[in-house]
Amino acid sequence: MLGQIPFGVADYFWEEALQRQELIAELLATFRRWGYGDVIPPAFEYATSLSAQASAGLQAEMYRFLDRDGKTLALRPEFTTPVARLVGTRLHDWPMPQRFCYAGSVFRYVDPQAGRQREFWQAGVELFGAASPDADAEVLALTAEAMAVAGLRDYRIVLGQIRYFSGLLAALDLTDAQSEALRWAIERKSEPALNDFLRDMPLGAGQRQAVEALPGLSGGDIQRVMDQAERHCLNGEMHRALVNLRAVVDAADGYDILNSVVLDLTEIRSLGYYTGISFEALAPESGFSIGSGGRYDDLVGHFGPAQPAVGVALGVDRLLLACQRQSGTPSTPQPTRPHALVLSAHNQAAMAQVQSWRAQGYRLQVEVNGRGLTDVLAYAARIGVGQVLAWETDRFLAYHPNADGLFVPSQGEISFDD
Amino acid sequence: MTNPAALAQENETSRANRPPLLFALPKGRMADESLAFLERTGLTGPLDTNSRKLVLPNEDGSIGFVMAKPWDVPTYVEYGAADVGICGLDVLRESGRKVHEPLLLPFEYCRLSVAGPANRPDTPLRYASQPRIATKYPRLAQEFFRQRGVNAEVIGLSGSVELGPVLNLADLIVDIVETGSTLRANGLVEIRTILEVQAVLIVNRAAYQLKSREIQGIIERVRAVI
């Protein structure tokens, strides 16, 4: 056991850790530019809070343990619920809307898969106190910008409106088992399962057509999908879902992101959690979604006065993986190398020069083992650093490897650019 | 084609020129039927499965076919290593992989059943307090008995499951039954069907959206011949 780490967690180090930190920093910087303020919820809290509206699946995946007073605690499996708790219980009287952004690791007891260990990283935003399509469109547009910021060239946002399907369920007046059968058929896009459902159900002609049309209600031709869906509205809720969806699409068009948006009214995975639009971000190189979000107007009310809310959570690990695959550079473990190693004998002028280079953003490592030039050059060659600076009376002399890989002194200006 | 360097070179090339769509097919028992079925859809002509190439392109290069171990097909497709695949429903349900499954295919008909010794007393399965079940399908077997309130001791095997009761390793087995002749030969009878099995077309969830034109094309071609 000593020296091992448990299944499902990872040590990140060198360039891989640096890339991860830089991506998170860039995502947070982007969120802040859109007016989102930072929030850092605790890594664990009462399990009852975290499961306020969690699906059975997510509840089963939570790491739970007992506090010393016997209360059940859980590691956060996501950020939305803790942030909703904060807003519902402590910030309910602060003027709405309120915008929050976060990044950090979450914990789920799942079988590790591509870009998702048991501890994995999320970055995202939550926008509270705005029920408007404009708020939905802002979160969609911010998701698109986050993809671009991460360096992903090719991605799609698959957008659905859960109320279209929940309206259909209501209109069909199904038993729980029948609803479940229909939900399963739609979620797995299974024609045979849908046919089984239709065969066993006594439905009116309009109802039957609405169910039959459902699998076709997806695609990049947004107008066509919405027009087709419109023809099969069976009640006010389905109609209102489409009115809302049109308004969100119109608002999103203002951000010029519709080229990356695909509509899918059969996108119903989080039935019972989302209350309006829901979406997933996909990239061709990754078989898994790299982010998901939507409107959840019922969550904050568990903790305080109800507030409409919409948000998105991006999977940092999957985003990194998708970017890597898109750029075609497989990740090989690379140490983070300084621009130069520095040899100096306790000299103020030398250290001042080093400090000024560091202030310009260059990474410089000062020799601390008291080694001489020969040993430091050998060390530099071994770890792959291409420049050694040795202090000679009043200035630094630079050593670079020649064609044979031997370090030789070089003349001229010292430069850190490759 | 015995030169490893040339082969490596060729596989390197095929990685660079990944066909627009990758289709995972099961090796072994299901391979012939799957290939014959695909030829009927017109998606591909005969594929040279004896070739040592890893990815076999169809005539116009629009689809690359990969021959995979049947149990690996759902994994390939869930991870997006392949966009589309064919496997048995038994394998798909046992794997629990999250993929789309638009169509059932008209071959590989069989059933996953509970079977036991022919001389077993005719009592409901739920009367046994802790039956020992030998199976290649531990997940489905466990689930079947759990739904009946029975905490079965599931013994995972990788083949020749019908030996379980014969060697007194297990009381019952959960296994694929086609004609029942293997069961009879080992003094076993079918007790209950768990799952009606046939081949199924599966699709990666992301590819379903991102390559929807190509995928819908495949689904239509397949639908036309089933």
Closest CB from B78, B102, B104 relative to A189: B102
Q: Per-residue pLDDT for B8 more than 80?
A: no
pLDDT bin (cut points 50, 70, 90) of residue A412 is confident
CA A67 to centroid of chain Cα atoms: 30
Quick one: pLDDT at residue A324? 86
- Cα three-residue angle B207-B211-B213, rounded to 5 degrees: 140
Which part of chain A has CATH 3.30.930.10? 15-327
Q: Per-residue pLDDT for A103 more than 60?
A: yes
Q: Is A102 exposed, middle or buried (0-12, 13-18, 19+ CB in 10 A)?
A: buried
pLDDT bin (cut points 50, 70, 90) of residue B54 is confident
Residue ranges of domains in chain B, CATH in brackets = 4-109+198-225 (3.40.190.10), 110-196 (3.40.190.10)
Closest CB from A192, A282, A286 relative to B104: A192
Least confident among A160-164, A383-387, B53-57: B53-57
| Contact assignment for B206 to A218 by CB distance below 8 Å | no
Q: What is the pTM of this model?
A: 0.89
pLDDT bin (cut points 50, 70, 90) of residue B17 is low
Quick one: pLDDT at residue B4? 57
| Contact assignment for A191 to B206 by CB distance below 8 Å | no
Quick one: pLDDT at residue B5? 58
- Judge contact between B75 and B54, C-beta under 8 A: no
Closest CB from A190, A191, A282 relative to B210: A282
| Contact assignment for B210 to A190 by CB distance below 8 Å | no
Q: Which fold has domain A15-327?
A: BirA Bifunctional Protein; domain 2 (3.30.930)
Closest CB from B77, B103, B204 relative to A192: B103
- Judge contact between A309 and A84, C-beta under 8 A: yes
Is some CB atom of chain B closer than 8 A to the CB atom of A278? no
| Contact assignment for B209 to A287 by CB distance below 8 Å | no
pLDDT bin (cut points 50, 70, 90) of residue A110 is confident
Q: Per-residue pLDDT for B16 more than 70?
A: no
Q: Is B175 helix (H, G, I), strand (E, B) or coil?
A: strand
Q: Encode pLDDT of A194-242 as tens digits.
A: 999 999 888 999 999 999 999 999 998 999 999 999 999 999 999 999 9
| Contact assignment for B223 to A284 by CB distance below 8 Å | no
Q: Encode pLDDT of A23-64 as tens digits.
A: 999 999 999 999 999 999 999 999 999 999 988 889 999 999
Closest CB from A189, A220, A288 relative to B100: A189
Is some CB atom of chain B closer than 8 A to the CB atom of A216? no
Is some CB atom of chain B closer than 8 A to the CB atom of A319? no
pLDDT bin (cut points 50, 70, 90) of residue B18 is confident
The interface predicted TM-score of the complex, written ipTM, equals: 0.83
Q: Summarize the confidence of residues B78-107 as an average pLDDT.
A: 95
* A-chain residue closest to B206, CA distance: A287
pLDDT bin (cut points 50, 70, 90) of residue A259 is very high
Identify the residue whose tokens are 């077993």.
Answer: B120
Helix, strand, coil share of chain B (percent; to 5):
40, 30, 30
By C-alpha distance, which of B204, B202, B175 is closest to B189?
B175
* Residue pairs between chains A and B whose CB atoms are closer than 8 Å: 57
| Contact assignment for B209 to A192 by CB distance below 8 Å | no
Average pLDDT, rounded, for chain A? 93
Q: Per-residue pLDDT for B89 more than 50?
A: yes
Q: Encode pLDDT of A280-293 as tens digits.
A: 999 987 888 999 99
| Contact assignment for A287 to B101 by CB distance below 8 Å | no
Quick one: pLDDT at residue B1? 42
Least confident among A193-197, A324-328, A349-353, A360-364: A324-328
**Higher-confidence position of A184 and A329:** A184
- Nearest CA-CA distance, residue A179 and chain B, Å: 19
**Higher-confidence position of B17 and A301:** A301
Chain B residue set in contact with A, beta carbons under 8 Å:
77-81, 99-104, 203-212, 223
Quick one: pLDDT at residue B15? 52
Residue A200: CB atoms within 10 A of its CB come to 10
Q: Per-residue pLDDT for A362 more than 60?
A: yes
Q: Which two tokens stand for residue A77?
A: 């499996």
